[in-house]
Amino acid sequence: MEAQEILNDTVFVLLYGGVIMLSLVAALYLLLRRGNAIAPGVTSPVRLRRWAAAFLAVGALSHVFWMFYAFHPSLTVYTIVCGLDLLMLFPTMAGVLMSMLQDRRRPFWPVLALLVPALVLVALSLIRGDEALFTPLAVYVIASYALIMFYMFFAVRSYGRWLRDNYADLENKEVWLSFLILAMFMLFFVIYSSTAVGNHVLVYLLQLDCIFIAALLLWRVETLQQLTESAKPEPGPAEDIQKESAPQAVSKIGPLLKKHCENRQLYLQNDLTLSQLAIAIGTNRTYLSQHFALDGITYNTYINSLRIRHFIRLYQKAVDDRRAVTAQELAFESGYRSYSTFIAAFKKHTGKTVTAWMHDAAEPSDSPSLSESAKNVSESAKNAK
């Protein structure tokens, strides 16, 4: 769309101004508000809030730059605005994506290194006054983002494994849905790189994409839990096995788990982490991780199998006592703070939905007994992926 057309399109100008205001308000909200409006019970990662606020703020600033270009259209201004956009939007976008992964701090210099060729092309275009360089620049920007998407795909997979190895409760911790943000970012860069052809539909679509990105970022920031080590259980009278050789130490962990986790029912603590459990049984997280790896399970699988067995025992007792209970009540008593998490875990470990299992349990002649079901959970846990 030509600069004069933009200024004459009242609907577009209103939409454009709305995107600027939305981005600024969202950025200020993320920076200044301490609690969450979308998910009040979730504590968001501070680093993610700051990166998201930075991206939204520079997005609003980018819109202001392009409005300036609309009033002062020239190849020089166009080139400078493109360079400023790359310098601001690309790093903050990468910062948002990487700060969703809380297992470790990832190096930021590769992102900056990716920017160098693009900025060189911008500088050459500015010096030569050559529009032809914008085509390779657009291709390079899209290819660079595709490379980041490729990296993020494998990083998120690795992050998911890390979560299952270290956390019993994955509620508000997994980031698979963040691929929606990846897709919106990709759409943004593709449209952004194509608007130079002056397509009227694309400039509208770009503004709508900015609105979707702002909404998705707010949702992602407010529904992702900050990973912290809190409410640590008191160490039990466990043996100090950390000074022994690794094979000897790992071989002793099974009985320690039985004595200090299962018998003390530490698994009922819904935010129990691998590190906390290691402290409670008198070992370290490395040996404990090795123990689960040798058993072919994850920490998450181990804790959930114990919770589901606990649920089955509670249900059996309620049936024996002829006491009316709901599955949701028993799920919360078994260490789950989210019923939807319990439903998914129950199906994964037993192969049945809660409703189907309870229906079968009411017909003992055709189904395994409740006690047998509890035993089967521990067997199925070793086969769970």
pLDDT in tens, 93-138: 999 999 999 999 899 999 999 999 999 999 999 999 888 888 898 8
**What is the per-residue pLDDT for 374?**
52
Spatial CA neighbour of 3 closest among 59, 60, 81: 81
The distance from CA 375 to its chain's CA centroid, rounded to whole angstroms, is 34
- At residue 65, does pLDDT exceed 90? yes
**What is the per-residue pLDDT for 80?**
93
Spatial CA neighbour of 161 closest among 340, 316, 300, 338: 300
Domain extent listing, the chain: 3-223, 246-383
* First-residue to last-residue Cα distance in the chain: 52
pTM of the full structure:
0.84
Amino acid at 42: V
Domain 246-383 part of CATH 1.10.150.120: no
**What is the per-residue pLDDT for 364?**
54
At 169, list the tokens: 């409760």
Query: Any bridge partners for residue 25, and if so which?
Result: none
User: pLDDT per residue over 125-175, tens digit each?
Assistant: 999 988 888 889 888 988 998 898 889 889 999 999 999 999 988 888 988
Question: Phi, psi at residue 283, to the nearest 5°?
Answer: -135, -165
Given pLDDT bands bounded at 50, 70 and 90, which one contains residue 8? confident
Q: Is there a contact between 351 and 376 (Cβ–Cβ < 8 Å)?
A: no
Given pLDDT bands bounded at 50, 70 and 90, which one contains residue 346? very high
Q: Is there a contact between 257 and 243 (Cβ–Cβ < 8 Å)?
A: no
Average pLDDT rounded to a whole number, residues 15-22:
94
Number of C-beta neighbours around residue 347 at 10 A: 14
Radius of gyration of the chain (CA): 27
Q: What are the distances in angstroms from CA 21 to CA 4, 44, 215? A: 22, 23, 13
CA distance 169 to 77: 52
Average pLDDT rounded to a whole number, residues 208-218:
90
